[in-house]
Structure 1
Amino acid sequence: MALSVEIERVMDQGNCLMPDINICQSDLANPTEPIVTKIMVHYLRSFGFRLEPPYKIGTELGHSSREARVFLIRVCRQVERIVQISFPNKTYTYMDIIKPAVKKTLATLSYLFNHLAYYKVFKKKVLGPVEEAIKLKDSLTAEVKAKSQQLEQCSQKTKDCEVAINKLKKDLQDTQAKLLPLKKSCSEHENTLELIEQQQSELDKRIGHWEQLVVEDSQVTELREKIKSASSHVESCKAELASKKQVTNEHRRMIENSQHIATALEKATAVLSQCKVDDYKESLKQLEAVEKQLPTWKVNYQKLLQDAEAKKQELVLCEQRYEERNQENDAENHKLQNELKQLQVDVEDRKKRLEDLNNHLIELDQRNLEQDQLYAILSEQIHEALGQNWQMNST
């Protein structure tokens, strides 16, 4: 009787917590491997475990293959860990699934269903704040990492810009240093060219004067050849001077371009450094603010962990109290069952007594009926014997 009551109670708990599996009374009265495996798999899935049996439960045996045996061993280990939360000495082995016993299966399922009920009732209160604190910590950590990466990128860009600016300044100084001797040589060539032009003009004047005064002779021809050579030399000097001027102009353009680039770089450096410094300062402020708030967040996180631990201990105490009350209720139930049996025995006795009394009453009624019949017969006989006088006396 007590076993059937326990089966009914465990069945109601299982169907209430896991309505998908639809546990029957016969499943718990005669547990088999497929039934127990099905219940345990659905139970572990309620806690978020991902369990996919490598065989069809109900059509194949769990010990038919190595993969199935490994799967059942994993299920046993998970169930045993849950049971050992409050009962460290209790075990749940592979044989408890392969050859399940009624009492141990009922006791294990009773504890597991109680644990699942407490988990569903208190998981939002206990796990919610802890999960929020963990998410907040992760988001803040990710934000700090992102800010630090941005700062590193900004500092790297600033360093690259400074290196490029220094390189351009150095190139500008080298170009200016190369330009100085070119300017000097150009000025010297210009001076020599002016002297040559002056000499040529003087020679032209002398030649014209000599042509007017002197008739041509060998000296004149020689002088003309010298003049021609001098003029050719002057032309070559002019060509060389023109090429030097062209080179000088090119260098001048390069210097001007370098100066423009240097001024633009100085302006860009001023603007860029100011922006980067502002961003860097702002990022430092944000980082300092986050670092200041981080200890408080850590303290809050520790408090939440302590609260969660306290809630867990309360759950354990509640489970123990529930077990104690459950045992008391079982004892009272057993006592009431015994009293009920005694009452049933008393009722049966009273029914038997009532039946005896009814039989006795029936016998008495029959006797009364017989006496009435005898009385009626005697009355008729007396009436017949005495006649009308009896009737008058009787009236």
Structure 2
Amino acid sequence: MALSAEIERVMNQGNCLMPDINICQNDLANPTEPLVTKIMVHYLRSFGFRMEPPYKIGTELAHSSREARLFLIRVCRQVERIVQISFPNKTYTYVDIIKPAVKKTLATLSYLFNHLAYYKVFKKKVVGPVEEALKLKDSLAAELKTKSQQLEQCSQNTKECEVAINQLKKDLQDTQAKLLPLKKSCSEQENALELLELQHNELDKRIGHWEQLVVEESQVTELREKIKSASSHVESCKTELASKKQETKEHRRIIENSQHIVASLEKATAALSLCKVDDYKESFKQLEAVEKQLPTWKVNYQKRLQDAKAKKEELGLCDQRYEERSQENDAENHKLLNELKQLQVDVEDRKKRLEDLSKNLVELDQRNLGQDQLYAMLNEQIHEALGQNWHMNST
């Protein structure tokens, strides 16, 4: 009677947890190798194991091929590991599945079904936080990768801006050096013009004085020719001085524009961030305008771009910033790893609690089994004591 009750209980558990296999009472009362194999395969699949038998269960013999025997051994080992979670000394071997005994099969299935029931109850509570933590880790890793790419792009833009600023500073120095001799030449021309104007005034005074005097016609003609030549020379000097002044003004305007652009680029570099890429583009447009106005600067700029590799030492500041950002990212990663470890510790604690609950349930099952055995013994003793009367009353 106790055995039939145990069979009934295990059968109900199996059909409730795995309705696909449809266990009946006769299957557990007389277990066979195909039935036990079928139940164990479905049971392991419930935990996510990939179990594909290399033979057709129920129509072929399990020991007909080496692959089939290896498959059954692997199933037995996996079942044994699950059983030993709460009963470290218990085993489940190849013989137990080839020649299954009723009591051992019932005891093994009872524990396995209880373990599966608790697994389904606590699956969401235990696995859910772990999955959320893993998703959070993946999202943070993706965000960290995006931020690193943005930082690298910003660093590259900063390097290009600094190279352009250094080039403009050098070109500005070259232009100022070229302007110095032009200023000197202009000053000399102005001095010469002043001298010529003084001479012209003196000649005008002489002409006025000579006109009041009576002189020979040849001297008057000669003097007029000198005056004409001096006047023409003065006019040519004025024209040349005006062109020099215009050229000087043009150079001054170019230098002022260059200085304004350099100052703007320095300010943009000091305050450069991810949100000011548009300012950098606007400065780059101004730089193109300057290059259009000064084609010679553009040629020099293209030549010096090819020598940019020799100036890596000048970009040490940007490398230092990048290292600082990398250290900050490493600190964040370390923090996330610590949080993940804490979650793993919590999962282990919950697993231990689940194992304790499983042990308590097994103890309760053993107590119930003892009570069933005691009830059966009492029934036998009463039957022996009452004899035929007990049989008649029971019928």
Bucket of the pairwise TM-score, normalised by the shorter protein? 0.5 to 0.7
| Equivalent residue in structure 2 for 1:316, among 359, 373, 381 | 359
Asked if 1 retains the 8 angstrom alpha-carbon contact of 2:7 and 2:106, the reply is: yes
Q: CA deviation at 1:80?
A: 0.6
Q: CA deviation at 1:145?
A: 4.5
Is residue 84 of structure 1 aligned with residue 70 of structure 2? no
Across the aligned residues of Structure 1 and Structure 2, the Cα RMSD in angstroms comes to 5.1
Asked if 1 retains the 8 angstrom alpha-carbon contact of 2:80 and 2:92, the reply is: yes
Structure 2 matches for 1:29-68, cutoff 5 A?
A: 29-68=29-68
Residues 343 and 79 (structure 1 numbering): CA distance in 2 closer, same or farther, change over 3 Å? farther
Separation in 1, partners of 2:171, 2:391: 127
Q: CA deviation at 1:75?
A: 0.9
Counterpart position of 2:180 = 184
Separation in 2, partners of 1:39, 1:302: 34
* Range moving further from structure 2, 108-117 or 338-347: 338-347
Asked if 2 retains the 8 angstrom alpha-carbon contact of 1:175 and 1:255, the reply is: no
Asked if 1 retains the 8 angstrom alpha-carbon contact of 2:84 and 2:90, the reply is: yes
* Range moving further from structure 2, 23-32 or 37-46: 23-32
Q: CA deviation at 1:40?
A: 0.7
- SS for the counterpart of 1:272 is coil
Asked if 2 retains the 8 angstrom alpha-carbon contact of 1:144 and 1:287, the reply is: no
- SS for the counterpart of 1:61 is coil
Asked if 2 retains the 8 angstrom alpha-carbon contact of 1:133 and 1:301, the reply is: no
Is residue 329 of structure 1 aligned with residue 372 of structure 2? yes
Asked if 2 retains the 8 angstrom alpha-carbon contact of 1:11 and 1:28, the reply is: yes
Separation in 2, partners of 1:257, 1:183: 15
Q: CA deviation at 1:76?
A: 0.6
- SS for the counterpart of 2:272 is helix
Residues 265 and 337 (structure 1 numbering): CA distance in 2 closer, same or farther, change over 3 Å? farther
Q: Structure 2 regions of 5+ residues with no counterpart?
A: 204-216, 223-228, 277-326
Q: Structure 1 regions of 5+ residues with no counterpart?
A: 215-226, 277-283, 352-395
* Range moving further from structure 2, 60-69 or 36-45: 60-69
Residues 272 and 308 (structure 1 numbering): CA distance in 2 closer, same or farther, change over 3 Å? same
Residues 262 and 344 (structure 1 numbering): CA distance in 2 closer, same or farther, change over 3 Å? farther
Counterpart position of 1:134 = 130
Separation in 2, partners of 1:274, 1:18: 58
Higher relative contact order (CA 8 A, sep 6+): 2
Q: CA deviation at 1:39?
A: 0.8
Counterpart position of 1:170 = 166
What do residues 18-74 of structure 1 show as CA deviations (whole Å, max 9, x unaligned)? 222112233223322211110111122223323222332222222333332222222
Separation in 2, partners of 1:25, 1:264: 90
Residues 286 and 252 (structure 1 numbering): CA distance in 2 closer, same or farther, change over 3 Å? same
Asked if 2 retains the 8 angstrom alpha-carbon contact of 1:83 and 1:108, the reply is: yes
Separation in 2, partners of 1:341, 1:249: 134
Residues 322 and 67 (structure 1 numbering): CA distance in 2 closer, same or farther, change over 3 Å? same
Query: Amino acid of the residue matched to residue 131 of structure 1?
Result: V
Separation in 1, partners of 2:175, 2:379: 118
Residues 51 and 35 (structure 1 numbering): CA distance in 2 closer, same or farther, change over 3 Å? same
Separation in 2, partners of 1:252, 1:64: 101
Residues 349 and 131 (structure 1 numbering): CA distance in 2 closer, same or farther, change over 3 Å? closer
Q: CA deviation at 1:348?
A: 5.8
Residues 131 and 14 (structure 1 numbering): CA distance in 2 closer, same or farther, change over 3 Å? closer
Asked if 1 retains the 8 angstrom alpha-carbon contact of 2:53 and 2:68, the reply is: yes
Query: Amino acid of the residue matched to residue 168 of structure 2?
Result: L
Separation in 2, partners of 1:249, 1:53: 94
Is residue 346 of structure 1 aligned with residue 363 of structure 2? no
TM-score by length of 2: 0.60
Query: Amino acid of the residue matched to residue 325 of structure 1?
Result: N
Asked if 2 retains the 8 angstrom alpha-carbon contact of 1:41 and 1:75, the reply is: yes
Residues 133 and 64 (structure 1 numbering): CA distance in 2 closer, same or farther, change over 3 Å? same
Separation in 1, partners of 2:387, 2:113: 34
What do residues 143-184 of structure 1 show as CA deviations (whole Å, max 9, x unaligned)? 654665566556545544443343233222211221133223
Structure 2 matches for 1:1-395, cutoff 5 A?
A: 3-121=3-121, 123-124=122-123, 128=125, 130-138=126-134, 141-142=137-138, 145=141, 149=145, 152-153=148-149, 155-157=151-153, 159-187=155-183, 255=255, 258-269=258-269, 271-273=271-273, 302=345, 305-306=348-349, 308-336=351-379, 339=382, 345-346=388-389
Query: Amino acid of the residue matched to residue 306 of structure 1?
Result: D
What do residues 258-281 of structure 1 show as CA deviations (whole Å, max 9, x unaligned)? 3353244244335534968xxxxx
Counterpart position of 2:292 = none
Separation in 2, partners of 1:7, 1:341: 26
